[in-house]
Amino acid sequence: MNKKAKLAALISGAVLLAYAAFPVFAQNSSNDNDIPERDGVYNVPKHPNMKVRVFVHKQKPQSQPSATPAPLACGLDAQDINSQAVTPATPWHLKNGAWNYYLNLGSVPSGIGSANLVMIANNAFATWAATNVGHSVTFNNIGNTTINRKAFDGKNIIAWGRTSQSALAVTYTWYYTATNEVAEEDTIFNKQYPWSWSGSNTDCANPNSYDTQDILTHELGHWMGLDDTYAPAYVNNTMYGYGSRWETKKDTLTDGDISGIAAIYP
């Protein structure tokens, strides 16, 4: 083999290796649309070793307050009441180490302010990091993305985009069935609903819109491995399956949510 042929063989070998190391993201993107936007566990096209779980966070039926405009109000769903009801776990957990996420700042609704999403996400991740999961996992905002739909593409994203009408937000968790380790997470908020942020005030909220930190903290509970709960005993848990306007109680975890995490991350 002459020098040129050797070099060509070396380069093609390196290209093959790179492709073999990241085959999943190269092959799968065209199939992401096949995953339905309904609560459930689905096969991942071309990845028999994986499943994807879809959580649709719905607005609470008959929870619509009057349309009277008001900036911040306290009471009702904004009240933070503790609960001992232990949140059930999903099969999966996060792998030890750094967990990186991207924010789509360009998609943030004007009622929130795009710069505030960095702080909101920081707060929501810190809330979970203060539990047992924080002993083995760290969360890092590693930048902005323009992606606004679910995709198994190696990026964990938080974005506003199109989701079905009744969904406030949809979280997708791809995980390996052999190890139950999470491969990827995406959370897509429904841009058709009114959104706001109560700031550092965790007891009062805007009565006419959904509080971003409230709903995001719930969605991140799915990232950690907690399930939805719909029974009345769980109405004050962060992982209660319905979301309401004028709600900030999911900003803070109940004893039952913390116990649920402790069962996943001893």
Q: Which residues bind Zn ion (CB under 5 A)?
A: 55, 57, 228
CB of 20 to Zn ion, least distance (A): 36
In the complex with Zn ion, which residue's Cβ is closer, 42 or 72? 42
In the complex with Zn ion, which residue's Cβ is closer, 53 or 57? 57
How would you classify the pairing of strands 137-144 and 204-205? Answer: unpaired
CB of 252 to Zn ion, least distance (A): 17
CB of 39 to Zn ion, least distance (A): 9
CB atoms within 10 A of CB 11: 10
Sequence-distant (≥ 6) Cβ neighbours of residue 144 within 8 angstroms: 102, 103, 104, 105, 106
CB of 3 to Zn ion, least distance (A): 60
CB of 103 to Zn ion, least distance (A): 20
In one-letter notation, the amino acid at residue 163 is T
In the complex with Zn ion, which residue's Cβ is closer, 139 or 234? 234
Give the C-alpha separation, 179 to 193, whole Å.
Answer: 37
For 45, the token pair is: 């096209």
In the complex with Zn ion, which residue's Cβ is closer, 24 or 186? 186
> Which whole-number Å values give the CA distances from 216 to 64, 140, 149, 160, in the listed order?
20, 16, 16, 12
In the complex with Zn ion, which residue's Cβ is closer, 214 or 228? 228
Give the C-alpha separation, 27 to 5, whole Å.
Answer: 29
CB atoms within 10 A of CB 32: 17
